Amino acid sequence: MSGARLELSGIGKTFRGLRAVHDVSFAVPAGTIHALIGPNGAGKTTIFNVIAGVFAPTAGTVTLDGRSIAGLRPDRVCDAGVGRTFQIVKPFKGLSVLENVTVGALHRRPQLGPARAHAEAILQRLGLHDRRHQLAENLTLPDRKRLEVARALATEPKLLLLDEVMAGLRPTEVDVMVGFLRELSAQTGLTILLIEHVMRAVMALAAQVTVVSYGEKIAEGTPAEIARNQAVLDVYLGHEDPA
Amino acid sequence: MTQDFALSLAQAIAKGLLTGMVYGLMALGLSVIFGVMRVVNFAHGEMMVVGMYLAWAAFEYGQINPLFSLPVIALIFFGLGYVLQRGLIQPFINRPEHQQFLLLLAVATLIVNGCLAIVGPDSLGIQLDSQFDSYELGPFVFDAVRVHAAIAAVVISGLLWLFFTRTRIGKAIRAAADNHMGALVVGLDVRRLYAITFGIGAACVGAAGALMITIVPVTPFLAAEYTLLAFVIVIVGGLGSMTGALLGGLLIGVSEAVAGLLLQPSLKSMFSFGLLIVVMLLRPQGLLGRKDSR
Amino acid sequence: MNRRALAGLLILLALLVAAPALLGGYGLSVLILVLYFAYVGQAWNIMMGFAGQLSLGHALYAGLGGYVAAGLYTHYGIGPWMGVFAAVGAAVAAGAIVGYLGFRFSLAGVYFALLTIAFGEFTRIGFDNWTWAGGSGGMFLKVERGITDLANLRGGTVMFYYVILAMTVAAFLLCRALLESRLGRYWLAIREDAEAAQAVGVPVLWCKMLAVTISAALTALAGVWNAFYYNNLFPETAFAVGRSIEMTLSPIIGGLGTLFGPFVGAVVLTGMGEIFTDLSDQFHVAGLKQIFYGLALLIIVMYRPAGIWPWIAARLGFEEKRK
């Protein structure tokens, strides 16, 4: 597993004339962790969905290691090496935790046996192994978030898109997740793009931060730079929940 | 096109429109129920047939014109629908679709075979005094019974419209049908709203049955056909949309009548199903439906 | 599968193989019904139980299969073992059309179910008016008594019994193999959440297409068997919505998405049907059998909504959860 470079250039997306995202460009070098932040409704998840192939962009290009992935179907985007989680978790409720992750692992391992073994290894790393025979619908929210990450990782992505995986976690759980992601990035060189409201996690993880508001990019820089950026402060001060 | 043909075509369309009003009323019931509860009433045609039998019995044993027994039938149906929802359907509201389907299939089986056991398989019709009367309008001739049924269907639909736009409970139901989640959070007693909705849906189909018996004789075997017909109509019009159901009713009424004129009568429902397939593929949400927000 | 379950399964299979020697004509004909419903239920279960796509128009595939094979046999003397390829081809084509239109336009749940009904009805009315297929008067196969000609599928009850038994066992093994394959797991993932499945690389449309075509192909075989067993076909029954609904009952009652559900459901439903026939014969009331049947369905769906088999299995100590 190693990371890939993601590059978005001039991305736009309109829904029936409503502009959700306009002219957003940023690049995530291979093996780095990048955060996408902004107030609710700023268009962060839309950008994710454009990268992941849920929507084709109405303008602009998305490339992964120089190869265009814009407009591909989600399963093709996964083929190309992008794994994602959902903001509102989507476990396969009626399947066990192990089966959930096995489905992801089957993507690059067509045989059930090896896929299951790979899934078990990932569950070990995420600390879900002792719950592997539980039905996914019986998991607690923090565990469901971890399951989302485990299932995405099982597809062996080069780029991991994490949509608010810290939301709803207690501070200690946030620290565990931060530690896991940092280790994952260091060990595998995986590229990670995360949407996050939990600033503690953003500060601790991200090398670079892109800020969007009303569908447009308003700032980019290191976490420290962003924390001092006046435009960003304006957006967040006008917002009741700077988290 | 000869003038004769044009006239008989226009005549068929007019006839289809009149029948279509009654179809629309029947489908309205299905649409209201689905719109609010997301439950497909697979026993809809069976309920329709019961309405037809009740109106038939009132006429046969009490010489009551279906137009006058209709309000009572609608009221009885409202009560039955309310109780059915409370007793049987409510526990299934959040269950998977196939379980709801099986439940209503069981209800449908019980209703249709109950009819069979009580009244038998023979087709039963009524002979109104107005049976052979007709109205003439220029070159057109309309059967009086059909005209009366259509007028009654329009009046009932109008009353329902008033109910849905003027009363608090009606507005709540309409809001729930338009925006499923939205109305559920405004704080109405959802269970009661559901039961009332099912009652109203049942009353619509009961009333439609009372009207239909003046046009078509009834047998238990019509039930499945009416269930399918109601599905076709609401899908064409837009599942959950009330105006869509009425429009779909007219459209299917006309298409049946025209197909019956142009093609063999046995092909007429092929026309409706063809229309259904086309609408589903081009506009899955139906002609007047909105994209499902689920 | 644990040892106990395997032993139970082998005993059951041995009993089924020995059944013609143990049972009289009536018993065998009931058992044939059980196996038929177990088989078509297994085929339908692939679509709904595994891939989560509700089809209420499976009579379309059985009807097409039956008509194609019977038509080739009566019109051109082409035997069923050849005709079956054409039959399966026709059903797969129909399944592919229904599936592609439905899935491409992302019709889900009830909408998809109604599309399948619409195609079934459409075909029914078409066959009603198609002379080659005998129109509404039906198509009849020549009945030849006293011979057993497996090559042309002409013979007595025992032959048809073994054919449907072989089909049921084969379908069971096929479904088991499918469930333990990547495709099977992908189906389960689609059933649970198609969007999440696609995000982990499941080609959703393609998998759904495989589900509908495999299911249609298996159902077409049942249609061929049915046509040659009963020697007649009528559009009114072959393509009836009621026929489609019948096929859904065994797996739903038995346990959706389980391998044994369709068989258990078929045993329960057919058994109930026979008991209710006897019961209602004593009262001479039309529709009484169906009323019992409706009540039984009502009770089962209210108290055992996940099906009978998972409940029995838990009690017998065979773990087969809904996969």
Nearest by CB to residue A152, choosing from C195, C200, C203, is: C200
Closest Cα in chain C, distance from residue A56 (Å): 15
Q: What is the DSSP letter of A135?
A: B
What are the b/e assignments for B91-101, b being 16+ CB within 10 Å? ebeeeebbbbb
User: What is the structure's pLDDT at A211?
Assistant: 93
A54: chain C residues, CB-CB within 8 Å: 195
pLDDT band at B185; cut points 50, 70, 90: low
Q: Apex CA A42: angle with CA C199 and CA A169, to 5°?
A: 65
Q: Apex CA C124: angle with CA C121 and CA C130, to 5°?
A: 145
Q: Tell me, what amino acid is at B144? A: A
Distance CA(A43)–CA(A12), nearest Å, equals: 10
Average pLDDT of the residues in C306-314: 88
User: What is the structure's pLDDT at A234?
Assistant: 80
Q: Which of residues 95-134 of A touch C (CB under 8 A)?
A: 95, 99, 102-104, 106-107, 110-112, 115
C274 burial via Cβ count (<10 Å: 0-12, 13-18, 19+): middle
Between these two residues, A63 and C320, which has the higher pLDDT value?
A: A63
pLDDT band at B293; cut points 50, 70, 90: very low
Interface with C, mutate which of A73, A85, A92, A93 (most C CBs under 10 A):
A92
Average pLDDT of the residues in B269-282: 80
Report chain B's mean pLDDT, rounded to a whole number. Answer: 86
Average pLDDT of the residues in B141-151: 87
Judged by a CB distance cut-off of 8 A, whether residue C305 touches chain A is no
Residue B103: its H or E element: helix B97-119
Judged by a CB distance cut-off of 8 A, whether residue C208 touches chain A is no
The count of residues in chain B is 294
Q: Tell me, what amino acid is at C62? A: A
User: What is the structure's pLDDT at A242?
Assistant: 45
Average pLDDT of the residues in C194-215: 96
User: What is the structure's pLDDT at C225?
Assistant: 96
User: What is the structure's pLDDT at A209?
Assistant: 93
The two tokens of residue B242 are 């009330």
Residues A183-212: pLDDT tens digits? 999 998 999 999 998 888 898 999 999 999
pLDDT band at C96; cut points 50, 70, 90: very high
User: What is the structure's pLDDT at B3?
Assistant: 77
Distance CA(A203)–CA(C134), nearest Å, equals: 77
Contact B224 C288 (CB under 8 A): no
The two tokens of residue A221 are 């820089």
**Does the pLDDT of residue C32 top 90, yes or no?**
yes
User: What is the structure's pLDDT at C140?
Assistant: 92
Contact A154 C180 (CB under 8 A): no
User: What is the structure's pLDDT at A243?
Assistant: 43
User: What is the structure's pLDDT at C8?
Assistant: 85
User: What is the structure's pLDDT at B170?
Assistant: 85
The sign of the torsion formed by the CA atoms of C302, C307, C310, C316 equals positive
**Does the pLDDT of residue C152 top 80, yes or no?**
no
Contact C192 A94 (CB under 8 A): yes
Q: Which chain B residues have any C-beta within 8 angstroms of a chain C C-beta?
A: 34, 40, 88, 91, 95, 97-99, 101-103, 105-110, 112-117, 120-121, 220, 224, 228, 231-232, 235, 239, 264, 266-267, 269-270, 273-274, 276-277, 280-281, 284
DSSP helix/strand/coil, C306: coil
DSSP helix/strand/coil, A83: strand
User: What is the structure's pLDDT at C264?
Assistant: 95
The sign of the torsion formed by the CA atoms of B3, B6, B10, B12 equals positive
Nearest by CB to residue C203, choosing from A75, A84, A91, is: A75
Distance CA(A225)–CA(C28), nearest Å, equals: 82
Contact C182 A102 (CB under 8 A): no
Chain A to chain C Cβ contacts (< 8 Å): 79
Chains A and B touch (3+ CB pairs under 8 A): no
Lowest-pLDDT range of A142-146, B276-280, C267-271:
B276-280
Q: Which residue's structure tokens are 């070990």?
A: A124
DSSP helix/strand/coil, C200: coil
CB count in 10 Å sphere of residue C138: 15
Q: What percent of chain B has pLDDT over 70?
A: 91
Ranges assigned E (strand) in B35-167: 134-137, 140-143
ipTM of the complex: 0.91
Distance CA(A92)–CA(A103), nearest Å, equals: 10
Lowest-pLDDT range of A218-222, C193-197, C291-295:
C291-295
Nearest by CB to residue B116, choosing from C115, C121, C287, is: C287
Report chain A's mean pLDDT, rounded to a whole number. Answer: 90
Residues with Cβ < 8 Å from B118, sequence gap 6 or more?
Answer: none
The two tokens of residue B184 are 């559920």
Contact C196 A78 (CB under 8 A): no
Average pLDDT of the residues in C115-140: 87
The bridge status of strand B140-143 relative to strand B134-137 is antiparallel
Residues with Cβ < 8 Å from C11, sequence gap 6 or more?
Answer: none
Residues A115-127: pLDDT tens digits? 999 999 999 998 8
Average pLDDT of the residues in C307-321: 78
User: What is the structure's pLDDT at C322?
Assistant: 53
Distance CA(A26)–CA(A207), nearest Å, equals: 13
User: What is the structure's pLDDT at B186?
Assistant: 60
- Residue C141: phi and psi, rounded to 5, are -100, 145
Distance CA(C7)–CA(A225), nearest Å, equals: 70
Q: Which residue's structure tokens are 């059980």?
A: C34
Q: Which chain C residues have any C-beta within 8 angstroms of a chain B C-beta?
A: 48, 54, 56, 101, 105-107, 109-111, 113-115, 117-119, 121-122, 125-126, 128-129, 136, 241-242, 245, 248-249, 252-253, 256, 285-288, 290-291, 293-295, 297-298, 301-302, 305
User: What is the structure's pLDDT at B183?
Assistant: 57
Closest Cα in chain B, distance from residue C261 (Å): 15
DSSP helix/strand/coil, B114: helix
Distance CA(B57)–CA(B50), nearest Å, equals: 10
Q: What percent of chain C has pLDDT over 70?
A: 98
Nearest by CB to residue B224, choosing from C48, C109, C241, is: C241
User: What is the structure's pLDDT at A233?
Assistant: 80
**Does the pLDDT of residue C176 top 70, yes or no?**
yes
Cα B209 to its chain centre, rounded Å, is: 8
Judged by a CB distance cut-off of 8 A, whether residue C106 touches chain A is no
Contact A167, A198 (CB under 8 A): yes
DSSP helix/strand/coil, C56: coil
Closest Cα in chain B, distance from residue C118 (Å): 6
Q: Tell me, what amino acid is at B71? A: P
Contact C290 B109 (CB under 8 A): yes
pLDDT band at C101; cut points 50, 70, 90: confident
Judged by a CB distance cut-off of 8 A, whether residue A167 touches chain C is no
Residues with Cβ < 8 Å from A46, sequence gap 6 or more?
Answer: A13, A20, A21, A55, A215
Distance CA(A228)–CA(A215), nearest Å, equals: 21
What pTM was computed for the model?
0.88
Between these two residues, B10 and C225, which has the higher pLDDT value?
A: C225
pLDDT band at B239; cut points 50, 70, 90: confident
Q: Which residue's structure tokens are 């045993």?
A: C267
Average pLDDT of the residues in C143-169: 86
Terminal-residue alpha carbon distance, chain B:
48
* Of the ranges B104-108, B143-147, C38-42, the best mean pLDDT one: C38-42
Q: Which of A195, B159, A99, B285 is nearest to C186 (CA)?
A: A99
Report chain C's mean pLDDT, rounded to a whole number. Answer: 89
Interface with C, mutate which of B93, B98, B231, B285 (most C CBs under 10 A):
B98
The sign of the torsion formed by the CA atoms of B157, B159, B162, B168 equals negative
CB count in 10 Å sphere of residue B189: 10
Residue A161: CA count within 13 A, CB half-sphere: 25
String of DSSP letters for B22-35? HHHHHHHHHHHHHH
At CB < 8 A and 24+ separation, what contacts does C14-23 make? C16/C165, C17/C165, C19/C161, C20/C158, C20/C161, C20/C162
Residues C218-267: pLDDT tens digits? 999 999 999 999 999 999 889 988 899 889 999 999 999 999 999 999 99
A194 strand-pairing partners: A35, A162
Contact C117 B95 (CB under 8 A): no
User: What is the structure's pLDDT at C185?
Assistant: 97
String of DSSP letters for chain B? --HHHHHHHHHHHHHHHHHHHHHHHHHHHHHHHHHHH----TTHHHHHHHHHHHHHHHHHHH---HHHHHHHHHHHHHHHHHHHIIIIIGGGTTS-HHHHHHHHHHHHHHHHHHHHHHH-SS-B----GGGG-EEEETTEEEEHHHHHHHHHHHHHHHHHHHHHHHSHHHHHHHHHHHSHHHHHTTT--HHHHHHHHHHHHHHHHHHHHHHHTTTS-B-TTHHHHHHHHHHHHHHHH-TT-HHHHHHHHHHHHHHHHHHHHHS-GGGHHHHHHHHHHHHHHH-TT-SS------
Q: What percent of chain A has pLDDT over 70?
A: 97
pLDDT band at A1; cut points 50, 70, 90: low
Contact C305 B99 (CB under 8 A): yes
Contact C256, C49 (CB under 8 A): yes
Average pLDDT of the residues in A150-167: 94
**Does the pLDDT of residue C111 top 50, yes or no?**
yes
Lowest-pLDDT range of A34-38, A40-44, B49-53, C250-254:
A40-44
Distance CA(C222)–CA(C79), nearest Å, equals: 16
CA-to-CA dists, residue A230 to A218, A219, A223, B25, C25, angstroms? 10, 10, 13, 62, 90
